[in-house]
Amino acid sequence: MRSLFAFTAFLLLAGAVSLTDCPAQDNETPKSSPEALTVYSDAASFQNNGEFALSAEEWEKFLKEFPKDPLAPKARHYAGVCYLQLKAYDKAADHFETVLKADPKFELAEDAFLNLGWCRYSIQAEDRTETLTKAGEAFAALVRQFPKGKYTDQALFYLGEALYALKKKPEAIGAYRKLVDDHPKSSLRSDALYALGVTYEEEQEYAEAGAIYDLFLKEFADSALYTEVRMRKAETVLQAGDVEAAEKMFGEVAGVDGFVSADHAVFRQAYCAAKLEKLDEAGKLYAKLATDFPESTYLSDAIISAGRSFYRANDFANATTWFQKTIDAGRSDASEAAHWQCRIYLQNNEPAKAITLAQQQIPKAGESTFLVNLELDEADGLYAIPDRREDSLAGYLKIVSKHGDHELAAQALYNAAFTALEIGKYDDGLKHAAAFITKYSEDRFLPDTKYVAADCNLKLGKHEAAEAGYRDLLANHKEHAEYDSWRVRLGLVLYLQKKYEDAIAVLQETVKELKQPGQIAEGQFLLGASQFQLEQFEAAAQSLIAAIAAEPKWRQADETL
């Protein structure tokens, strides 16, 4: 939005009324009566002395008593001027409109069109559509009839203002542009450049806005708007993709003493820092905004943004400070802050705190988009406490039941399947995994869920189904981080089925490519055990020795020995 500043003062046409307005009293020109001239003179005198209310009364008296007088059009016009000065815009507009309808070529028509437009523009109402539209029509008429008139620049400017207020921004741009291009010496040039640049910016025509701002900065270095235009120029640079340059420009503007929008400049500087992954710096800038500008409209956003930035920088101590401020304030973003604070507690191995905070905030979350996050946080906290994992399973399933279409529902269902595997409820694990595979076949947790199903089958002794599951994983998800683990798992299920030759064929290649000592040890052990069963004792001994060498104290080291 544009700054609320006063544009160059509108030229109210309330100049002195001269008695030379009276027509010459010859035989060809209609004559005013002495009585009419007396009233006209009194009205003019009052107006010339700034007594606009008395003058308006006299003009109205003239119009009532001498409606056909040759001076009546001017009297009506000047009555309009008095009402305009008295801010009786409706009455003033009616007089100007009446004059122009009676004679569009009225000798003061240019003044009347400008004043009519201003009156309509100035009328305040809940719905200004009609008055602004009429204002625009008056200003446009002036431009058409007087393309090189003395008020054309003003008419163009306020035509742009009326169109802007009507949200007709492309049309407003046309008016401002014509003023800028055709009236380079206008006293409204700086205002027009500013308005044009802002309207371009709001229409997301950032290159055009930037060019206009450059022109403003070149021509009006002494303007009260100079610093704001520098800030707006920085925004166009940011939108053009030069984040680093924009960050520097916002920082320079933010440092200008007394700049009324310094908080906005700091806010955008912080945004740029975050965009550049300078997360600690971004956090400090958001914190500075919240500290130095406690009345800023960006205060709430700055507080939680400080928390987010410090969180992403793994500075959990500072993140906690700012998240807690948001939670304590009880604003609409408290649910989000609580969610991230729960994640901090979980990463710090403080699940009880995460559970407590989530349970406190869930009833307050209402329609917050972070309600499901908090419910998941609570369930994750329960999972992190071994003897409460059964409760976590219920929590995950509750999310799936209540929020099946939410983006976190798939993760909750995967977590339910995995938890069932962990607590030995293998049939439940298979059921939840099957539900996941049916409903979320494109989700990122699909391979992990397939693994849960395969392992549940393994635990239940359904070795053929487990083997099929591991082979599917190895064939279709080769880029997964657990790929090597699945290769070892396939070797295990083959060994358990006494498919020793198949196990040897798989494991001989696998152990060459494993990287983690524990996986190498298990792979070599299964290879050696399979070779032993086929009485390949020398090879078996070498494999078992390799298992101990890889990880002397792995979980089956005693059996290996």
Taking only the tens place, the pLDDT of each residue in 55-76 is: 999 999 999 999 999 999 999 9
Look up tokens 């009555």; give the residue. 79
Question: Residue 202 is encoded by which pair of tokens?
Answer: 């709001």
Tell me what percent of the residues of the chain surpass a pLDDT of 90.
93
Residue 118 CB coordination number (10 Å): 24
Q: Residue 14 above 80 pLDDT?
A: no
Residue 2: per-residue pLDDT: 56
For residue 255, what are its two tokens? 């440092």
**Nearest alpha-carbon partner for 15 in 157, 159, 150:** 150
Separation in Å, CA 402 to CA 33, 286, 407, 408, 518: 89, 36, 12, 11, 40
Lowest mean pLDDT among 29-38, 146-155, 338-347, 409-418: 29-38
**In the predicted structure, residue 488 carries a pLDDT above the cut 50:** yes
Mean pLDDT of 86-108: 94
Per-residue pLDDT, 9: 36
| 24 has a pLDDT exceeding 80 | no
- Give CA–CA dist 2/194, Å, rounded: 9
Q: Is the pLDDT of residue 456 over 80?
A: yes
Whole-angstrom distance, CA of residue 286 vs CA of residue 357:
24
Which of the two residues, 201 and 9, has the higher pLDDT score?
201
Q: Over 80: is that where the pLDDT of 6 sits?
A: no
HSE-up of 260 (CA within 13 Å, CB side)? Answer: 8
- With a pLDDT cut of 70, the percent of the chain lying above it is 95
Amino acid at 280: D
Could you give the C-alpha distances from 27 to 24, 30, 74, 116, in angstroms and in order?
A: 9, 8, 21, 35
The pLDDT tens digits of the residues spanning 239-294 come to 999 999 999 999 999 999 999 999 999 999 999 999 999 999 999 999 999 999 99
CA distances from 33 to 42, 60, 65, 74, 488 (A): 14, 17, 11, 16, 116
What pLDDT digit, counting tens, does each position of 212-234 carry?
999 999 999 999 999 999 999 99
Helix and strand element counts for the chain (H, E): 29, 0
pTM: 0.80
Residue 1 has pLDDT above 70, yes or no: no
**Which residue type occupies 307?**
G
Say whether pLDDT at 491 is over 80: yes
Task: Give me the pLDDT at residue 332, please.
Answer: 86
